[in-house]
Structure 1
């Protein structure tokens, strides 16, 4: 199969999986609070990743000079970002979660400038402005309840921290397997969250956890969304350049919005679409190639 076509399939699948993730989180978080949900999701994911890593005989050794970088990726991306993302989805809607976090590629430009010293072009600056205005319209101007506004703020934090983590990943030496980097960063998040989660686990309703919808959702979040989605995305970017690959991020808000409407009965206001259009326009400015 053509490399471009295969890479496109990988990236489209990853983004579609993440779009569906917001609907699953919205259902599961009604039973499992965000902090506990992230922790349980990662336990499932790390078991899956370790099994695949052992079967494929990955090299798990990390050099000392790269240790701090891996820890930072785990804390910022896998702990703070994902907890904020799932808390934001709980307080708002699946559509809002998918749309606001789709501003991540635009915010990456800022961190690339600060950390990697990449030059910011006028087009990139405009994209940041449009994405920011779009997020503010959704959070502040739309006719939302106070909890939804808080959820929007949490989702914005998730987008910013995920963008920062994505730029930090670019500083990881290329001789490391992406599976190894993902596994270690998830392990860091588990270690960080465990002291906060363990005292709260006894409050979970085990009868509700036994429901097929809830444990099925947990398997989706851990194996499909976390382990599978990350690996599909990274593999796709190996076959396509980053600019072309970023275009497939659009599948996330589209799938999230569609599934939220179909499965959860969520409604969408005009201001939501105005904000979404600005965010997607801003992201498109970043990822489009110059002709």
Structure 2
């Protein structure tokens, strides 16, 4: 299996599993404070990992490429949309939506991520992916209908869809910096988003529960938001935004299954119809293949890599032969044919 697919599916499993755990914590602190604790737990945990890695990797050529000044606008937008607005809307939605249905509604993130990638950021689109996305949209509509009150709009479901839109924006902006160190990206995002959300919550009069509950929320954030984001950034590097979003659509199934076991929820018939539609959509994504003759333009960038068909460059330093390694490098123009994803080397037109 392609490494990018593995990264995306692992990220999906971690994020999906965090939803039912977050549901158990919603009633114990206000939504904005809970979002802050989740992200702060993510940031602190990843910062510790970042420091531990720095102690182990002492050779300069083994250090991942860090964020640059040119990356700051993209990264700031990603933090604002996905680190602040998205989690807050999700916590608000969880106040009135069951964890299992909320988990499946989160599939809308993949749809909105792909739509933005195709129509705003001009990533290539295949018919098979479009059909899969339509099935997922139909499933999301069914779930929103199931959550609708007798009168009025399903505000909880709409809040979760709003969170998915924020994460879709976040995912597309993060793709712009995905060649940089994913651990640095995720740690900085967690620290900034957590501090902002928690500060807003405390300023609004929120009080934190007992220390064990705060610690549990931090652990949930570290696994479901922190480690998941590191893997997601790696997937973006290998697959592009739309495909990563498509594979990430597996996240709600992990959350929904865990909700049924952990919380003892009994879903209605529409839940199972929606699950079948989403399953069919994800299957179409998983079985998609894309290959044609394409030309690589000259490109200079830096990221962790091996000396494969796309990395046949010389080194201006003494290389010890260890792979993968990271350093700025130059790609010469190249034309060839092979199956590929719209990764950081295949952002060509069609």
1:99 aligned partner: 104
> Any idea what SS the aligned residue of 1:163 has?
helix
- 1:24, distance to aligned residue in structure 2 (A): 0.7
- 1:227, distance to aligned residue in structure 2 (A): 1.9
Q: Do structure 1's residue 183 and structure 2's residue 187 form an aligned pair?
A: yes
Q: Do structure 1's residue 158 and structure 2's residue 169 form an aligned pair?
A: no
The answer as to whether partners of 1:75 and 1:188 remain within 8 angstroms in 2 is: no
- 1:26, distance to aligned residue in structure 2 (A): 0.8
Higher helix share: 1
Distance 1:56 1:8 in 2: 24
The answer as to whether partners of 2:93 and 2:159 remain within 8 angstroms in 1 is: yes
Distance 2:218 2:200 in 1: 22
Q: Choose which of 30, 33, 43 in structure 2 pairs with 1:33.
A: 30
Q: Are residues 109 and 9 of structure 1, via their aligned partners in 2, closer, same or farther at CA, if it must alter by over 3 Å?
A: closer
> Any idea what SS the aligned residue of 1:56 has?
helix
> Any idea what SS the aligned residue of 2:122 has?
coil
2:262 aligned partner: 263
- 1:42, distance to aligned residue in structure 2 (A): 1.9
2:39 aligned partner: 42
Higher strand share: 2
1:18 aligned partner: 15
- 1:169, distance to aligned residue in structure 2 (A): 1.5
* Stretches of structure 2 lacking an aligned partner (at least 5 in a row): 55-62, 291-350
The answer as to whether partners of 1:247 and 1:284 remain within 8 angstroms in 2 is: no
Q: Are residues 285 and 251 of structure 1, via their aligned partners in 2, closer, same or farther at CA, if it must alter by over 3 Å?
A: closer
Distance 1:143 1:76 in 2: 25
- 1:99, distance to aligned residue in structure 2 (A): 0.7
What TM-score do the two structures reach when normalised by structure 1? 0.81
Q: Do structure 1's residue 78 and structure 2's residue 93 form an aligned pair?
A: no
The answer as to whether partners of 2:132 and 2:280 remain within 8 angstroms in 1 is: yes
The answer as to whether partners of 2:102 and 2:160 remain within 8 angstroms in 1 is: yes
- 1:119, distance to aligned residue in structure 2 (A): 3.8
* Stretches of structure 1 lacking an aligned partner (at least 5 in a row): none
Q: Highest relative contact order (Cα 8 Å, sep 6+), 1 or 2? A: 1
- 1:257, distance to aligned residue in structure 2 (A): 1.8
Q: Let me know the Cα RMSD of the aligned residues.
A: 3.2
Q: Do structure 1's residue 113 and structure 2's residue 112 form an aligned pair?
A: no
> Any idea what SS the aligned residue of 1:91 has?
coil
Distance 1:123 1:5 in 2: 19
Distance 1:257 1:186 in 2: 25
